[in-house]
Structure 1
Amino acid sequence: MQIRLWNNNLKVRLFGEALFNMLFWMYFPFITVYFGAALGNHIAGILMTIPPVFSLIGSLFGGALTDRMGRRPVMLMGAGLQMGMFVLFAISPSHWIDYLAFIGIGVGGAIYRPASSAMVADLVPPEKRREIFATFMTANNIGAVLGPALGAIFFFHYRQELLWTCALVTLLYLIAIYFIVHETLPHSEKNKEGSSSITHVFKEQWKGYGIIFRDKVFLIYTLAGIFALVPIMQLDLYFPVYVINEVPAQALFTWNGHSLMLTSTEIYGWLLGFNGLLFVLFILPVTKWFHNWKERDVFILSSLLSGVGTFALGLNTNFWFLFFVTIIFTFGEMVRSPVTQSFISRYAPEHARGQYMGADSLQGTIGKFLAPITVFLSNWVTPMGIFSIILAFALISVVLYIQLFRIYKEEQPT
């Protein structure tokens, strides 16, 4: 993939999102632990179910505006909100304001994403989308290699400085979008006429979403994705709680009577960094390896690898064993992501691309609403019980994907 030949819109977004994502991974993995330490794991588990509800509203709102206002204005809106919330987080005097700012950051990202994905679909032909989306994922996960290891230090000891840096980077990206990125909304949508009143806009958009959610294929696709994402999301939810509370400090290497000892928190940082490194090194090769696979088979393989890999985390607390199973569930997430984005960008009609992209994010937002239940239940259920629940979610998604492509095949014109 020759990035130098890309459209300038894609180049700016590739660089900006990669830089922001590096800072994102320095604070996000530790949010659950942060609120858990301040308020208790049971309260933190409940609190972490609320941000996805607001993100869901933000995604639907962003998707609707993307088709009406255009991709660029909505991206500016989402990035601007994120910048403001980082500033609020940095100057916050209490954990509850921290929490509100965290919600606001998520809403800003939720507004931004449908427009961002729709812009890629506008600019890239269908046969190239998997590779383009995979390239974006590679750039985004470069930050996930160093971010968690650095965040274990900076988030807890230099949190204000880290948050101010995030605000500055978001501001610079906002300026780049404003001056360099151009609009890609199809001309047929730009020329549409109609009432511009707020009431009319929302009435029309909710009518559009009503049509989308009566689409049986899309509905089953969304449900399958929700169940499939619950195991994947544990990397930032139950996984740190499990590692920090259940995995003992141990030696990474031992030589000549000396050893490199890692605390539980450091072990989690290393594993998360390893997860990001795998993405950086293998997302493009894996995308090419599975290029000729049917989407149905890729989705099923992804659910099985992520579910079984996450379940296996509970079988042993040895550092190197945890590294091994990290490979399994990471590949489950890796094979899924580019196919998900290319599937919905191909399935969505051009005139409603933004709305479908916004509705597609329901998988992530509802998944994030359900996934923290593992943290909430961890006060009463043993780790293997939690990992068994996670595996059950993955197996349900396999059944739903089989049903999805059975219906989708029947609806295709012969």
Structure 2
Amino acid sequence: MRIRDWDRNLKIRLGGEALANISFWMFFPFLAIFFSDEFGKTTAGLLLICSQFFSVIANLFGGYCADLFGRKRMMVLSAFGQGIAFLIFAISTSPWFFSPVLGFICFTVVSIFGSLYWPASQAMIADVVDEKNRSSVFAVFYTSINIAVVVGPILGGIFYAEHRFELLLITSFAMVLLGFILFKWIKETAPMQNRSSRSSKSLSSLQFLRNQFKEYSVIAQDKVFMLFILAGILGGITFMQLDLLFPVYTKEVIVNQTIISLGNWHVQLNGEQAFGLLISENGLLVSLLTIAVTGWMSRFNDKIVFVLSSFIYGVSMILFGVTEWIWGLIFAMGLFTFAELMVVGIQQNFISKIAPEHMRGQYFAAASLRFTIGRMIAPISIPLTEWIGNSATFVALCLFAWISAVLYYVMFTLFERKSTKSATI
């Protein structure tokens, strides 16, 4: 499906979100280093776990609200909320006032509003795109994010150390601008009967929470979907190390290491520069190859793709743990990125297949628990390196990924049986 044939909402979002994402990624990859330096590894890891706990709650709440109040309203609210939080974050790191604690609180608030945005944004795509084209549309949005992952860290590597305050101000402005664009130019896509039937009832706070719990309990009875979430959480713990353990580990093991040497001319990298290179490699490969790899993977059975992706994630973790050579890390990142690309688009399309139309927002919210819960648990890797060492920590991450592969196999076996049974009725 060509972009020019897309719904107007998606075209507008693609441009607006690209601007916001580039701004965000100029400093986000360096936050794990910032908090580790200010609070220490153990404290930083525990604080990041706490912040993501609130994101888990916000994520479920956001999915329910996206179905109840509409996709547009939740996305606009989230964008403006992130803009305000980034502004206060900037003030907390300004030349006139420095408070890492206030900065961490603002980071937590940003994470909460981001969790409110995600299910509504994904549900909107499912609302306006037919099933056969969803994978490719999801892949294009993912590619857009990863173009930001290429451009952002490069700019951040140049400016972050000396201009963190200015970068946070730019990100605040970008999020407010995104909120204005969404408010002014996109239209609501949630099924009208879904919103009107719920909104026609005047709900107290207690009734609101009771109804939300009731509808999510229905989702929890979907065994296939719950296995999908559990496998995704274990895989997510591995994937989330991209901006948690990887920057801290790279800073420790890469110390003015030569990457290129030609006679008397050579290029050396320190840890932060090496991490900027690795994350830019990830983003560049995703930007260039997402659509191609998604099309290639669509030729195979989804079960094989999901299982193999988790297995390769595990292998990449082992490689990261056994090398302190920059080119070895570059190879490991390439393998890590390929595992990521294998399931881009396919995962989101799988959710849209099994989600009832009137509950898409909640299904996407529940599905993104893979990332919010995974991100909540993932920071434990930072203090874990102090407790058991780097190598053992990467082995543990490998095991998480391989257990995820087993769960995906069980999930698809159950899904195939369920589909066969439904077809015979």
The farther-off stretch of 248-257 and 127-136 is 248-257
> Which residue of 2 is the match for residue 231 of structure 1?
238
Give the match for residue 391 of structure 1: 398
Q: Counterpart of 1:200?
A: 207
1:7 aligns with 2:14: no
Displacement of 1:242 after TM fit? 1.0
Structure 2 counterpart of 1:293, which letter?
F
Matched, 1:129 2:134: yes
Separation in 1, partners of 2:113, 2:376? 17
Aligned-residue offset at 1:108 = 0.7
**Matching residue of 1:255:** 262
Match of 1:126, as an amino acid? E
Determine the structure 2 residue equivalent to 1:184.
189
Distance 1:262 1:317 in 2: 13
Equivalent-residue separation in structure 1 for 2:170 and 2:323 (angstroms):
38
The C-alpha deviation readout for 1:215-260, integer Å capped at 9, x for no partner, is 2111111100001111111111111111101223212211231211
**Matches of residues 7-406 of structure 1 in structure 2 within 5 Å?**
7-92=7-92, 93-192=98-197, 193-406=200-413
Moved more, 368-377 or 251-260: 251-260
Distance 2:108 2:196 in 1: 35
**Secondary structure of the corresponding residue to residue 109 of structure 1:** helix
1:38 and 1:82 mapped to 2: Cα distance? 23
TM-superposition CA deviations, 1:75-118 (whole Å, max 9, x none): 11111110110011011231110000000111111001111000
Residue by residue, what CA displacement relative to the aligned partner does 1:1-41 show, whole Å, maximum 9, x if unpaired? Answer: 42122111001111111111112211111111101101111
**2:61–2:116 Cα contact (<8 Å) kept:** yes
* CA distance in 1 between partners of 2:342 and 2:257 (Å): 32
Where in structure 2 are there 5+ consecutive unaligned residues? 93-97
1:22 is paired with a residue whose SS is helix
Q: Aligned residue pairs: how many?
A: 414
Does the aligned pair in 2 maintain the 1:302–1:335 contact within 8 Å?
yes
| Contact 1:72/1:115, CA 8 A, preserved across alignment | yes
Higher mean C-alpha deviation, range 184-193 or range 368-377: 184-193
The CA deviation string for residues 292-329 of structure 1, in whole angstroms up to 9 with x for no partner, is 22221111111011111122012222222211111101
Residues 149 and 266 in structure 1, CA contact (< 8 A), matched pair in contact too:
no
Larger mean CA deviation between 86-95 and 146-155 belongs to 146-155
AA at the equivalent of 2:73:
P
Question: Quick check: 1:78–1:111 contact (8 Å CA) kept in 2?
Answer: yes
- Structure 1: state its 5+ residue gaps: none
8 Å CA contact retained: 2:317, 2:395: no
State the TM-score, normalized to the length of structure 1. 0.97
In structure 1, give the amino acid aligned to 2:107: F
**Kept after mapping to 2: 8 A contact 1:227/1:394:** yes
SS in structure 2 opposite 1:231? helix
CA distance in 1, matches of 2:340, 2:24: 19
Shift of 1:153: 3.4
Larger deviation, residues 261-270 vs 124-133: 261-270
**Aligned with 1:259: secondary structure?**
strand
**Separation (CA, whole Å) in 2 of partners of 1:185 and 1:98:** 35
Contact 1:18 1:141 in 2 (8 A): no
Q: CA deviation at 1:196?
A: 3.5
Q: Secondary structure at the match of 2:147?
A: helix
* Residue identity matched to 2:406: V
Q: Matched residues in 2 for 1:210 and 1:154: separation? A: 47
CA contact (8 A) 2:318 2:394 kept: yes
Q: How far, CA to CA, are the matches of 1:21 and 1:51 in structure 2?
A: 21
Residues 252-287 of structure 1: per-residue CA shift (max 9 Å, x gap): 211231211111211111011011000000000001
Query: Partner letter of residue 203 of structure 1?
Result: R
CA displacement 1:318-374 (0-9 Å, x = unmatched): 222211111101111111231111111111101111111111111111101111111
Q: C-alpha separation between the residues in 2 aligned to 1:108 and 1:254?
A: 46
CA RMSD of aligned residues (A): 1.2
Which shows bigger deviation, 105-114 or 186-195? 186-195
